[in-house]
């Protein structure tokens, strides 16, 4: 799966490419808008990450060219200006998501994964599973090692999200947005507390822990063999 | 053009115009009055003479002598007698070659040199074919007097206008002296000396009000300027600590070879500082946008009970952990920006939870008023001293002055952001603290109102 990064700030671009590469994505990086547009309309990319301010052609123009060529490649905008007009303009032109600098890489990665997943219509699952943890979506029951665990509605939603995106580091802001529909920067530690309470129910009694904290980035649900 | 005229000149000119109008009016009135008086006198005189002439001509012997006698007593009086056919019987004014108006009654006649009052009357009012008597009274000296008086009036008008213009200019200049003093003080105000104030107590009443307004404005400017200066200083200070941590930590880490774990630890520590700084910058940008009125409120109808309950659900784990009871009562509907108001209320809830002791309580009460919806967010716990209440919404204000900067410590922008959001909705927020409760009161205009 190939991604295209069009970003004129060299350091930013290189870090993005490295980060995405290590997360398993093959990303091409170009620094000017004109080359970026040529590559973008070629149709061989699964996702475009565009900076708004670019030499040559700006991010909006590239987006227009891409949509004009009949491509519905997901587009994630990076902008240094958090102007509402930018947001509205981008969404009108058909951008799929955008991030305001400074942003956390974990946030970018999570959004990239969301956008890529959106296209592929996942089969209707009836249950989610990791190791001996099983979540029954129909009966809304959770079991681990055959033992039933009682969760509140929000804990269930949180665990469902972790299970659906197992192996991905989920930043706190994404969890707040997906589980509680709270879409704002907040320095509250609600998510930490919620994860801790979920851990008590899911992990405490078991030697193999499934919920892990990735310091400074977020939380991940995965099996870690010792 | 007229805009460039000084106030003193305008006032002087207006004074002069007023005086001119008043004296002109008085003069005209006086002149008319004297003229009417003269006409009345002349009429009385002429009517008396007419009676004398009629008596001389109608009764008794020797009318010629009696007529001459009658006329001789009034040397400026002339008499003409004509019959119905216009034949002149008698004319004591042959040297006056003037044409006399024929119509009966009193009239005034202007000759080249002299003026006359003329009275036409029949000799015998009872006879239709009576001869006509014409009495001519020389009133030249009256007219001269009137003309002299008119000249005097014009002179008075002119002189008094001039005098009031000059006096008025002087008086206006003198009267407007406080205004010039105000100007001098105002011109001394600059960004560096916003503390200059106009002396209100020495000002005349009209200017005192203006001076008061200007002083108020200066006060607000001064306050805003102080806040802005303090704000910039605060930003520098807030960023300096994490920056210095980053620099020191990175340099120390790099001074010698270390284990992988040490490097990882260093990077994690740096990441925390950086995230804190990124959050700070984002919050600052948000506030800067709010200051410039750029927070675009995307209004939609909101059911506040529903919104609040969602937030309470969000905060439930935190509250349970802290053993604080959360509750909500009441409902209200407004039009507002869902995401912004959630952020505002979440800051208030976060704050309330932070300052509630274990076993305490956080209550939200929504009161649906006629004009506004009021949202109280109150928590039990230590009261905030009244003196600190207005400062709570200041940027970087923290209730605890001995706070530490660090990833877990919030930057003290939450309440400032909350207030910006509430104000962007046309509402306001205040804080009350008494009897073991601290209450944030949010008032938002209702749906359909700007």
Find residue B334's DSSP bridge partners.
Answer: B302
Whether pTM > 0.80 for this model: the answer is: no
Per-residue pLDDT, averaged over B369-381, amounts to 90
For chain A, strand residue ranges (E) read 2-6, 26-30, 47-51, 75-79, 97-100, 127-130, 133-136, 141-144, 147-149, 211-214, 218-221
Candidates B275, B282, B346; nearest CB to A182 = B346
Quick one: closest CA in A to B270, which residue?
A216
Q: Quick check: B175 and B29 in contact, CB under 8 A?
A: no
Token pair 């300027």 in the structure block, residue? B225
Cα B105 to its chain centre, rounded Å, is 63
B132 pairs with which residues across the strands? Answer: B82, B122
The tokens of B255 are what? 């001074």
Q: Among residues of chain A, what percentage have pLDDT more than 90?
A: 25
Interface test with B, best of A175, A188, A199 (most B CBs within 10 A): A188
Query: Across the interface, do B282 and A100 touch by the CB < 8 Å criterion?
Result: yes
Asked if B328 and B361 touch (Cβ cutoff 8 Å), the reply is no
Residues A166-187: b if buried by 16+ CB within 10 A, e if exposed? bebbbbbbbbbebbbebebebb
The whole-chain average pLDDT of chain B stands at 83
The Cα B106–Cα B358 span in angstroms is: 114
The interface pTM score, or ipTM, of the predicted complex is 0.77
Quick one: CA torsion of B308, B309, B312, B317, rounded to 10 degrees? -160
**B285 φ/ψ angles, rounded to the nearest 5 degrees:** -65, -40
SS3 of residue A219 by DSSP: strand
Nearest to A193 among B321, B411, B414 (CB): B321
* pLDDT, tens digit (0-9, with 9 covering 90-100), for A161-181: 999 888 888 998 889 988 888
Predicted confidence band of residue B191 (pLDDT cuts 50, 70, 90): low
Residues of A with CB under 8 A from a CB of B: 82-84, 100, 102-104, 154, 176, 180-190, 193-194, 196-197, 215-217
Radius of gyration of chain A, Cα coordinates, nearest whole angstrom: 19
Contacting residues for A61 by C-beta, under 8 A, at least 6 apart: A33, A37
Task: Pick the range with the lowest mean pLDDT from B205-209, B227-231, B303-307, B436-440.
Answer: B227-231
Residues of A with Cβ-Cβ distance to B340 under 8 angstroms: 184
* Of the partner residues B271, B294, B350, the one whose CB lies closest to the CB of residue A188: B350
Q: How far is B261 from chain A (nearest CA, A)?
A: 13
* Tens-place pLDDT, residues A83-101: 656 666 777 777 788 888 8
Burial class of B91 by CB neighbour count within 10 A (0 to 12, 13 to 18, 19+):
middle
Banded pLDDT at B261 (limits 50, 70, 90): very high
Tell the residue number behind the tokens 């962007």, with chain if given: B424
CA dist., res. A204 & res. B438, Å (int): 38
List, as own/partner pairs, every contact residues B80-88 make where C-beta atoms lie below 8 angstroms and the sequence separation is at least 24, other chains included: B80/B133, B80/B134, B80/B136, B81/B57, B81/B123, B81/B131, B81/B132, B81/B133, B81/B134, B82/B131, B82/B132, B82/B134, B83/B131, B83/B132, B84/B129, B84/B130, B84/B131, B84/B132
Instruction: Please list every residue in chain A whose beta carbon sits closer than 8 Å to the beta carbon of residue B315.
Output: 188, 190
pLDDT single digits (tens) A98-147: 888 888 888 899 889 888 887 665 556 788 888 889 998 888 889 998 88
Give A186's contacts (C-beta < 8 A, 6+ positions apart): A176, B343, B346, B347, B350
Mutate to test the interface with A, among B267, B269, B317 (most CBs of A within 10 A): B317
Put simply, the answer to whether A184 touches B339 (Cβ < 8 Å) is yes
* Residue B350 to chain A, least CA–CA distance (Å): 6
Q: Shortest Cα distance from B210 to chain A (angstroms)?
A: 40
Continuous H helices in A74-189: 84-93, 105-119, 153-164, 172-180
The DSSP letter of residue A170 is B
Q: Do A187 and B281 touch (CB under 8 A)?
A: no
pLDDT digits (tens, 9 = 90+) for B275-325: 888 888 888 888 887 877 777 788 889 999 999 999 999 999 889 888 999
Interchain CB distance below 8 Å, A184 and B321: no
Q: Using CA atoms, how far apart are residues B348 and B418, in angstroms rounded to an integer?
A: 8
* Cα-based angle B340, B345, B347 (whole degrees, multiple of 5): 95
């Amino acid at each position: 799966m190939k991604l295209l990064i069009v970003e004129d700030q060299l350091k930013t671009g290189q870090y993005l490419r490295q980060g995405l590469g290590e997360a398993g994505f093959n990303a091409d990086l170009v620094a000017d808008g004109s080359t970026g547009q040529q590559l973008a309309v070629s149709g061989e990319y699964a996702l475009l990450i565009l900076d708004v301010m670019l030499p040559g052609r700006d991010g909006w123009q590239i987006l227009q060219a891409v949509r004009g060529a009949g491509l519905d490649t997901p587009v994630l905008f990076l902008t240094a200006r958090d102007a509402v007009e930018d947001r509205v303009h981008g969404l009108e032109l058909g951008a799929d998501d955008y991030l305001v600098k400074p942003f956390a890489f974990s946030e970018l990665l999570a959004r990239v994964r969301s956008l890529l997943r959106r296209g592929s219509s996942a089969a209707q699952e009836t249950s989610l599973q990791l190791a001996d943890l099983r979540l029954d979506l129909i009966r809304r029951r959770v079991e681990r090692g055959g033992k039933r665990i009682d969760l509140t509605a929000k804990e269930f939603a949180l665990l469902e999200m972790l299970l659906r995106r197992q192996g991905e580091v989920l930043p706190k802001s994404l969890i707040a947005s997906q589980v509680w529909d709270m879409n704002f920067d907040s320095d509250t530690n609600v998510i930490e507390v919620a994860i801790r309470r979920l851990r008590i129910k899911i992990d405490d009694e078991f030697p193999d822990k499934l919920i892990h904290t990735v310091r400074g980035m977020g939380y991940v649900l995965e099996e870690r063999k010792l | 053009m007229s805009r460039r005229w000084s106030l003193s000149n305008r006032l002087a000119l207006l004074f002069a115009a007023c005086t001119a109008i008043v004296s002109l009016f008085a003069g005209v009135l006086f002149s008319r009055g004297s003229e009417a008086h003269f006409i009345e006198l002349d009429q009385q005189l002429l009517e008396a003479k007419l009676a004398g002439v009629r008596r001389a001509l109608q009764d008794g012997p020797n009318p010629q002598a009696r007529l001459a006698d009658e006329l001789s007593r009034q040397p400026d009086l002339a008499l003409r007698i004509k019959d119905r056919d216009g034949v002149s019987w008698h004319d004591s004014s042959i040297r006056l070659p003037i044409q006399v108006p024929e119509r009966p009654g009193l009239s005034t006649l202007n000759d080249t040199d002299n003026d006359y009052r003329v009275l036409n009357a029949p000799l015998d009012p009872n006879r239709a074919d009576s001869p006509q008597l014409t009495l001519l009274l020389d009133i030249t000296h009256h007219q001269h007097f009137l003309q002299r008086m008119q000249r005097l009036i014009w002179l008075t008008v002119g002189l008094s206008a001039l005098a009031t213009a000059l006096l008025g200019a002087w008086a206006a200049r003198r009267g407007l002296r406080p205004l010039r003093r105000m100007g001098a003080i105002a011109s001394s105000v600059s960004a560096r000396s916003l503390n200059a104030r106009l002396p209100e107590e020495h000002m005349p009443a009209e200017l005192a009000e203006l001076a008061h307004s200007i002083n108020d404005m200066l006060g607000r400017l001064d306050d805003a300027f102080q806040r802005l200066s303090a704000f910039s200083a605060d930003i520098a200070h807030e960023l300096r600590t994490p920056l210095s941590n980053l620099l020191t930590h990175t340099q120390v880490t790099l001074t010698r070879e270390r284990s992988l774990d040490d490097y990882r630890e260093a990077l994690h520590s740096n990441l925390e500082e950086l995230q804190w700084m990124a959050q700070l910058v984002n919050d600052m940008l948000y506030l800067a946008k709010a200051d410039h009125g750029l927070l675009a409120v995307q209004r939609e109808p909101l059911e506040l009970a529903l919104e609040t309950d969602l937030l309470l659900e969000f905060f439930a784990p935190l509250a349970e952990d802290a053993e604080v009871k959360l509750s909500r009562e009441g409902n209200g509907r407004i039009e507002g920006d869902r995401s912004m108001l959630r952020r505002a209320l979440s800051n208030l809830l976060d704050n309330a939870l932070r300052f509630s002791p274990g076993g305490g309580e956080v209550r939200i009460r929504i009161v649906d008023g006629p004009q506004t919806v009021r949202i109280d967010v109150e928590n039990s716990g230590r009261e905030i001293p009244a003196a600190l209440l207005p400062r709570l919404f200041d940027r970087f204000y923290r209730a605890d002055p001995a706070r530490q900067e660090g990833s877990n410590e919030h930057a003290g922008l939450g309440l400032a952001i909350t207030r910006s959001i509430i104000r962007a909705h046309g509402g306001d927020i205040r804080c009350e603290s008494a009897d073991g409760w601290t209450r944030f009161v949010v008032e938002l205009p209702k749906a359909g109102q700007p």
